[in-house]
Chain A
Amino acid sequence: MSANQGSQQGTLPRVHPAADIVQRDESYYIVLDMPGVKKEDLDVSVDKDVLTVAGETSYPVLEKETMQENEFGNVYFLRRFTLSDTVDRDGIKASLRNGVVTLHLPKAERVQPKKIEIESG
């Protein structure tokens, strides 16, 4: 995690982004709502069994404007997931689109069903 995030973490409210976990084909997908986070501010890391997704929003600070309605602000998103052995850790990919982070977690090869040939005796 970068030093910048460490300093911001204390000032911004920490929020758990909403997440979906879906299985599709031979992979798991974790989908997180992280609106307002730029690609360069998104941090995805795997440490042993723990997958961490973090990022802070960077909505511009308005100076001349007056707020008529204020329902959201800058936040620090942080969420951790525990990975099971069925996930191929090296194959994890992350993408960010429209404020949604999609993590692609392929199943480890050894847990994919393997057909065993029967030898004729």
Chain B
Amino acid sequence: MVLDFRTLYQDLPRSVEQFLDEMWHPLELSQRRQAYPPVNITENEEEVTVYAVVPGVDQEDIELTFSENSLVIKGERKPEKGRYFRQERPSGPFQRVINLNMNLDRDRIRAKLKNGLLTIAMPKTEDMKPQQIRIERE
């Protein structure tokens, strides 16, 4: 349910500002954001780290599962109580599946939540780490 009682008078300057903002940044988050939550994924030699933006979600409302080389982030954003004058923040359940296509050490996955940022660090298994190959002399 989305209720929006935005009045022209109060919001006109803001709307114009926002409109200009969007013109300057045509490919800003709002347009690229198809799946929720938005994620960043980084990789180094040791591990793969997934960062997800989940503001307003309590730790106990997030469920993380790892199976078949994919990570599933499940959760729910609860709406505010009271009478809404404006609702822009999304609410309700969400789920995102991230395929990682590599062998990860599922027993050593660590996750933390801070300031609405969920960080999941997944160490690679030994066979996924780059191995240097020595060239033998003839």
Contacts and interface: CB of A to CB of B under 8 A. Distances in A.
Interface in B9-55: 10, 14, 17-18, 21, 25, 28-29, 32-33, 38-44, 48-49, 51, 53-55
A68 B133 CA distance: 25
A71 B89 contact: no
Most buried by A among B32, B39, B89: B89
B25 to A, nearest CB: 6
Contacts of B69: none
B80 interface: yes
B14 to A, nearest CB: 7
A13 B82 CA distance: 33
A73 B25 CA distance: 14
A72 B56 CA distance: 17
Contact of B88 (A20, A71, A99): A20
A99 B115 contact: yes
Contacts, number: 121
A67 B89 contact: no
4 closest cross-chain pairs (CB), A and B: A99-B116, A35-B116, A24-B82, A99-B55
A95 interface: no
Interface string A54-87: 0000010010111111111101000110100000
A99 B55 CA distance: 5
Interface of B: 10, 14, 17-18, 21, 25, 28-29, 32-33, 38-44, 48-49, 51, 53-58, 79-90, 113, 115-117
Contacts of B21: 14-16
B35 to A, nearest CB: 8
A64 B86 CA distance: 42
Given A33-B55, A36-B53, A100-B56, A71 B32 contact: yes
A116 B39 CA distance: 57
A31 interface: yes
Given A14-B21, A98-B58, A23 B85 contact: yes
A65 B42 contact: yes
B80 A68 contact: no
